[in-house]
Amino acid sequence: MWTPQGWRGDASAERIVPGIANLHSHAFQRAMAGMAERQTNPSLGLGPSGGHDSFWTWRETMYRFAARFTPDALHAVAAQLYAEMLEAGYTSVCEFHYLHHAPDGRPYADPAAMSRALIEAARDTGIRMTLLPVLYMTGGFDERPLGERQRRFGHRVDAYLRLLDTLRAEQNATLRVGCCLHSLRAVPPAPMREVLAALPADSRVHMHIAEQVAEVEDCVAVRGARPVRWLLDNAQVDERWTLVHATHLDEGEVRDTARSGATVAICTTTEANLGDGLFPLRDYLDAGGYWGVGSDSHISVSPVEELRWLEYGQRLVTRRRNIAVSVGADGSDSVGETLLRGVAASAQRSTGFDAAALAGDTLVLDRDAPAFAGATDADYVDRWLFSGNRNLVREAFVGGERVVVEGRHRDREAIARRYGETLRALLAD
């Protein structure tokens, strides 16, 4: 088995690697993957990008999809997504959940109905989940009210804390519940402080931050500081925190984020799809920062692709090779092993599960695949991450329970059938 310290055991044994934690997921967005790839009408001038397609124009498509979801639809889409994650090598997921209420903004009879749809999808598929109900209060740094299409996301602080209390009572061996502040633009300073003061000492805290240049500029204009700098100066950011994206950092923010002990969740394929930018990986590694990956909007559901393009993006901007390299405890200078050590080191911090629980989440790679012909301990991980596009995960275990067999989730056909019916209904008009 491969561990962050290298291979352990007979070289001829099964090739077993730790399952990978997906640190950032919006499950409902799996239903719209590939459906926002047409140029918008430049005359609409949507968002800070004016006439250019960007995150802000993509968001219009997302809002239209978000308005159509019911708890049953969310369950069907999330189950399909989580089965795909398990087949690809993700064994745990941090679900950043803001689709709380009915489309008109009124709470369901059970205010936790949408959260429970996600919990049930995780239970049905067997994936380990950290559910992160989102506090979403305002439509911008100027604290404007939420727009009509954002109403189903919104909470007051008291209702949000009640939701957290309700869901925390349902935690079990494969479910943790953390806190999620959508972003600095969506949570004003006073409510942020109130929520943080009310959390249990061990609660994980996730937040979108510094994803787009326009967000950085707006934060500077209203709060007088860049987003990450403002957060570090106004909250006790530590190892409980996961900063999602943190794409646009200056030198001091890179250094101080690393010193804080927080984890950065890098979502390479989504950041590329949205045109957000590239995280300063090499500088962050040099500063000793913790990081992991997430599939975010699920334009891709593959940890291999996230890690591969995390490295490749750095190669493209530096015009060099083998950027994400740090020598391991066993003396390895492999890019692939550096990346695998990175995601392993952040899993416990971001998910809230302890090391003993995560030790039961493993992947068995298909050692008979052509990509591994003649492979040795020295190159097995690099071949997995940097060779071809065939999925090389043969089996996946969560808490010691096998959920993927011969590359297929145990309930793949039934889950896919329900997903197909649900998606056709969502797209009916």
End-to-end CA distance of the chain: 50
Tell me the whole-structure pTM to 2 decimals.
Answer: 0.95
Predicted confidence at residue 292, as pLDDT, reads 98
User: Identity (one letter) of the amino acid at 128?
Assistant: R
- What tens digit of pLDDT does each residue of 245-264 get? 999 999 999 999 999 999 99
Angle at 74 between CA 70 and CA 79, to 5 degrees: 155
Predicted confidence at residue 291, as pLDDT, reads 98
Average pLDDT over residues 134-156: 95
Beta bridge partners of 332: none
- What tens digit of pLDDT does each residue of 279-298 get? 999 999 999 999 999 999 99
CA distances 335 to 38, 342, 383, Å, are 35, 11, 11
Helix (H) or strand (E) holding 290: strand 290-293
DSSP line for 68-137: T--HHHHHHHHHHHHHHHHHHTEEEEEEEE---S-TTSPPPSSTTHHHHHHHHHHHHHT-EEEEEEEE--
Domains and CATH numbers, the chain: 10-426 (3.20.20.140)
CA distances 124 to 79, 83, 340, 355, Å, are 7, 9, 28, 23
Is the pLDDT assigned to residue 108 strictly greater than 80? Answer: yes
Average pLDDT over residues 29-49: 71
Q: Please give the structure tokens belonging to residue 367.
A: 């050692």
Predicted confidence at residue 65, as pLDDT, reads 84
- What tens digit of pLDDT does each residue of 326-375 get? 876 677 789 999 999 999 999 999 999 999 999 999 999 999 999 999 99
Catalytic residues: 245, 296
What are the φ/ψ torsions at residue 390 (nearest 5 degrees)?
A: -75, 135
Residues ≥6 apart with Cβ < 8 Å to 318: 282
Predicted confidence at residue 51, as pLDDT, reads 58
Q: What is the mean pLDDT of the chain?
A: 94
Q: How far apart are CA 179 and CA 197, in angstroms?
A: 12
Q: How far apart are CA 410 and CA 126, in angstroms?
A: 10
Is the pLDDT assigned to residue 132 strictly greater than 60? Answer: yes
| Local confidence band at 36 (pLDDT 50, 70, 90 cut-offs) | confident
Between 8-12, 56-60, 106-110, 391-395, the lowest mean confidence (pLDDT) is in: 8-12
